[in-house]
């Protein structure tokens, strides 16, 4: 007890907010009693000391002030988050994207339905689907990224496309509801949440010694309760904390990753509850499964809260939880009991992961539409109907030249043209727009009319050094798979860029013509498939007459070099520019003149062979 000068005794005693109690100690320094409180105070040598008690008024004021501070802090955080959401709405997001983790949900779903329900890896690479995904990805959560990617990779038609369209339209036109959803989804930004889909299928088994977790927690509670009466209990509690620290180190390996996943279940279910409150009648196929799944997961949510799923990014709360976790092994107990519950409720958890992800993916597509001009909703036509794409553009090319493509029987196009004229880009433009139309109901065109088509492509060069496979061998194996897919019956869109470029001219033309004839169908009786092929071999135009319609992208040589307008025109190309490009690139004149002479001789020989 610190003595206070008597000169301020009156001032202290006159305080109205705090109750100061004057205490007299005996001259011998023995303990004195405060009659009003019955508390024992040690005072020195008859001097006056004071004890400080908080009155109910002060206590109430402190609680109210703390509540106001917390409310103001949360309001400011929400205001800042809302400002950020409105700033980035309609804009692409530049951020790291771990594609292997994003694709994990797609792999899990494929294990259920089979590989035929997916856009194959070769086509995905040819069409730059990952880059298109990055353009579309305006999601707030990891599960939203996974759901959007899964949609883009689903073939030929993503599930519940009409319901997805209704949800996209709703969140695009109801800003307050959308921002409320985005706030809930933002809690699922931790990379650990990428594995939630796998956690639902994980066969979690607690080891026998994990049964010690609740025993150790109970012992710690007992030691802390006994400490005021039994001093040795403090030592027991300290030893318990050390033991718990060592256990956490031991759990940091395999079990530590699972515990990080458990923490994501709570914000996942919280977001699911916000989404379940949406009232979008046409989106019920996507939203209604939440009504059945969420009640099944209430107990699992409690375990997730134990594991730290309560956190909202507040450093003070997180720090307090870590201290309590070290003392009471909260996350270890969550794992022990949660593993059992998860084995029973894995399907319900995967249902919530899917529904929450779909809602976030719908928000991303709505944002893309808001920031993009010239998009349209596709009109799906029956199988065998003509295809008409008007003003179609590639989503990754700023200022892309729009083109019109109309494919009536024979439903195919043989695209010719010089180097750099845009043949490969046009093939990719058609392919990626068919994918977008059939997965997110959005395409870059002024109008889109087409039946549902499975998309397969063979465009980019690839070899396999490890397996010892050349480019030609891989191309041949891929083609055999495409021919088998065509024979199976469902209508396909086949995209080819320079078939068999890895072999000699004669066999390239012969094999390419045979493949394209087979896929396009018999002359006068086109098959169900649509074939778009780009080539430099003019012989194919003659060989495929009546099966594939010839078209070209033209070029010209201007004062500053080659000029391309990237416009699709009817008929085969009549120009070529390989030697001109060689000259423009700085090749020696002797090489250029030699090439021109040889090209003239070869053309003459070809004409003679044709006339004969």
Q: Is residue 119 part of a domain?
A: yes
Asked if residue 41 has pLDDT above 70, the reply is: no
Q: Which residue has the tokens 């005794």?
A: 9
Predicted TM-score (pTM) of the model is 0.82
Distance between alpha carbon 43 and the CA centroid of its chain, in Å?
A: 67
Q: Over 50: is that where the pLDDT of 480 sits?
A: yes
Confidence of residue 580 (pLDDT cuts 50, 70, 90): confident
pLDDT, position 510: 93
55, 31 Cβ separation under 8 angstroms: no
**In sequence order, which residues have a C-beta less than 8 Å from that of residue 350 and are 6 or more positions away?**
108, 197, 200, 201
Do residues 469 and 463 touch, judged by C-beta distance below 8 A?
Answer: yes
* Cβ count near 262 (within 10 Å): 25
Q: How far is Cα 443 from Cα 393, in angstroms, rounded to an integer?
A: 9
**Domain-embedded: residue 70:** no
Please report where in the chains the tokens 């930004």 appear, as a residue.
189
For residue 164, the Cα-to-chain-centroid distance in whole angstroms is: 16
How many other C-beta atoms are found inside a 10 Å radius of the C-beta of residue 597?
A: 10
41 and 99 share one domain: no
Q: How many domains does the chain have?
A: 4
Tell me, yes or no, whether 419 lies in a domain.
yes
Q: Are residues 469 and 341 in the same domain?
A: no
Q: What is the CATH number for 500?
A: 3.40.50.300
CA 304/CA 298 separation, integer angstroms: 10
Q: Which whole-number Å values give the CA distances from 553 to 374, 408, 409, 519, in the listed order?
A: 23, 20, 21, 23
d(CA 122, CA 148): 19
- The packing angle between helices 254-276 and 175-185, to 10°, is 170
Query: For residue 313, what pLDDT is reported?
Result: 53
408 and 295 co-located in one domain: no
Residue carrying structure tokens 């709570």: 266
Domain match, 599 and 451 both:
no
Alpha carbon distance 48, 176 (integer Å): 63
- Is residue 22's pLDDT more than 60? no
Measured between alpha carbons, how far is 141 from 129 in angstroms, rounded to an integer?
A: 20
Check whether residue 318 and residue 395 sit in a common domain: no
| 411, 362: one domain | no
Model confidence pLDDT, tens digit, residues 174-228: 999 999 999 999 999 999 899 998 876 665 566 777 788 888 889 899 998 998 8
Residue in 476, 485, 584, 494 with CA at minimum distance from that of residue 532: 494
Beta carbons within 10 angstroms of residue 297's beta carbon: 21
pLDDT tens by residue, 404-429 = 999 876 678 999 988 888 999 999 99
248 SS3 class? helix
- Asked, for residue 79, whether it belongs to a domain, the answer is no
| Burial grade of 166 (CB within 10 A; 0-12, 13-18, 19 or more) | buried
Does residue 87 sit within a domain?
A: no
The answer to whether residues 134 and 146 belong to one domain is: yes
Find the largest Cα–Cα distance for the chain: 136
The answer to whether residue 89 is domain-embedded is no
For residue 524, what pLDDT is reported? 54
Structure tokens at 157: 């038609």
Please tell me the predicted confidence (pLDDT) of residue 429: 97
The Cα 209–Cα 367 span in angstroms is 50
Output 36 or 380, whichever has higher pLDDT. Answer: 380
Give the model's pLDDT for residue 32. Answer: 43
Residue 316 shares a structural domain with residue 170: yes
DSSP-assigned states of every residue in 441-502: S-EESSEEEEE--EEEEE-S---BTTTTB-HHHHHHHHHHHHHHHHHH-S-EEEEEESTTTT
Instruction: Name every residue whose Cβ is closer than 8 Å to that of residue 411 and which is 6 or more positions away in sequence.
Output: 386, 387, 520, 526, 529, 530, 531
| Each residue's pLDDT tens digit, 312-323 | 455 666 677 777
Q: Are residues 541 and 589 in the same domain?
A: no
Residue 76 lies in a domain: no
Look at residue 498 and tell me if it is in a domain: yes
8 Å CB contact between 302 and 183:
no
Same domain, 40 and 173: no
What radius of gyration, in Å, describes the C-alpha atoms of the chain? 36
Backbone angles phi, psi at 23, to 5 degrees: -125, 130
Q: In CATH, what number is assigned to the domain containing residue 186?
A: 1.10.1420
**Residue 144: pLDDT band by 50, 70, 90 thresholds?**
very high
Residue 282: which residues within 8 A CB-CB, separation 6 or more?
Answer: 162, 163, 165, 166
C-alpha span between 588 and 582 (Å, rounded): 9
* 245 confidence band (pLDDT: 50, 70, 90): confident
Q: Do 287 and 393 fall within a single domain?
A: no
Look up tokens 């498939």; give the residue: 529
Q: Which residues constitute the domain of residue 600? A: 579-612
Q: Are residues 458 and 583 in the same domain?
A: no
Structure tokens at 270: 């919280």
């Amino acid at each position: 007890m610190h003595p206070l000068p008597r000169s301020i005794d009156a001032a202290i005693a006159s305080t109205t907010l705090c109750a100061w109690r004057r205490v007299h100690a005996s001259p011998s320094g023995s303990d004195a009693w405060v009659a009003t409180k019955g508390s024992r105070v040690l005072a020195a040598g008859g001097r006056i000391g004071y004890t400080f008690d908080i009155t109910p008024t002060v206590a109430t004021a402190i609680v109210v002030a703390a509540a106001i501070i917390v409310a103001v802090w949360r309001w400011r955080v929400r205001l800042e988050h809302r400002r950020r959401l409105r700033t980035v709405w309609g804009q692409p997001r530049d951020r790291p994207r771990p594609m292997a983790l994003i694709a994990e949900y797609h792999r899990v779903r494929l294990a259920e339905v089979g590989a035929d329900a997916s856009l194959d890896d070769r086509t995905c690479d040819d069409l730059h689907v990952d880059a298109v995904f990055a353009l579309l990805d305006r999601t707030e959560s990891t599960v939203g990224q996974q759901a959007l990617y899964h949609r883009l990779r689903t073939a030929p038609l993503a599930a519940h496309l009409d319901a997805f369209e209704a949800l996209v339209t709703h969140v695009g036109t109801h800003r307050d509801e959308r921002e409320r959803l985005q706030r809930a989804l933002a809690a699922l930004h931790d990379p650990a949440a990428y594995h939630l889909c796998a956690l639902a299928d994980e066969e979690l088994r607690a080891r026998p010694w994990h049964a010690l977790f609740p025993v150790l927690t109970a012992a710690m509670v007992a030691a802390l309760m006994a400490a005021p009466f039994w001093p040795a209990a403090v030592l027991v509690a300290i030893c318990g904390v050390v033991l718990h620290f060592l256990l956490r180190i031991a759990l940091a390996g395999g079990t530590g990753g699972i515990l990080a996943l458990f923490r994501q279940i709570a914000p996942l279910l919280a977001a699911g509850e916000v989404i379940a409150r949406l009232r979008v009648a046409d989106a019920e196929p996507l939203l209604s499964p939440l009504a059945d799944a969420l009640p099944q997961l209430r107990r699992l949510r409690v375990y997730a809260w134990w594991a730290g799923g309560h956190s909202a990014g507040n450093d003070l709360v997180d720090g307090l939880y870590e201290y309590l976790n070290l003392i009471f092994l909260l996350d270890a107990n969550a794992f022990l009991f949660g593993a059992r519950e998860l084995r029973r409720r894995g399907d319900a958890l995967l249902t919530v992961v899917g529904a929450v992800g779909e809602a976030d993916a719908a928000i991303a597509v709505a944002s893309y539409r808001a920031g993009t001009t010239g998009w349209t909703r596709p009109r799906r036509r029956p199988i065998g109907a003509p295809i008409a794409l008007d003003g179609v553009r590639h989503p990754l090319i700023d200022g892309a030249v729009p083109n019109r493509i109309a494919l009536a029987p024979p439903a195919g196009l043989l695209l010719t043209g010089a180097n750099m004229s845009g043949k490969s880009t046009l093939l990719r433009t058609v392919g990626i727009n068919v994918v977008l139309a059939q997965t997110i109901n959005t395409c870059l065109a002024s109008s889109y009319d087409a039946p549902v088509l499975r998309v397969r492509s063979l465009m980019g060069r690839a070899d396999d050094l490890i397996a010892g496979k050349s480019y030609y061998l891989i191309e041949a194996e891929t083609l055999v798979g495409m021919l088998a897919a065509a024979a199976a019956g469902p209508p396909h869109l086949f995209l080819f860029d320079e078939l068999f470029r890895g072999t000699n001219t004669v066999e390239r033309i012969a094999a390419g013509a045979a493949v394209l004839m087979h896929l396009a169908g018999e002359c006068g009786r086109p098959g169900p498939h649509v074939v778009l092929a780009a080539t430099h071999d003019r012989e194919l135009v003659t060989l495929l007459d009546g099966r594939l319609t010839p078209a070209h992208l033209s070029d010209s040589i201007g004062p500053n070099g080659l000029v391309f307008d990237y416009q699709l025109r009817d008929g085969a190309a009549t120009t070529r520019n390989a030697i001109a490009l060689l000259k423009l690139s700085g090749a020696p004149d002797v090489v250029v003149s030699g090439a021109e002479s040889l090209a003239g001789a070869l053309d003459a020989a070809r004409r003679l062979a044709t006339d004969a």
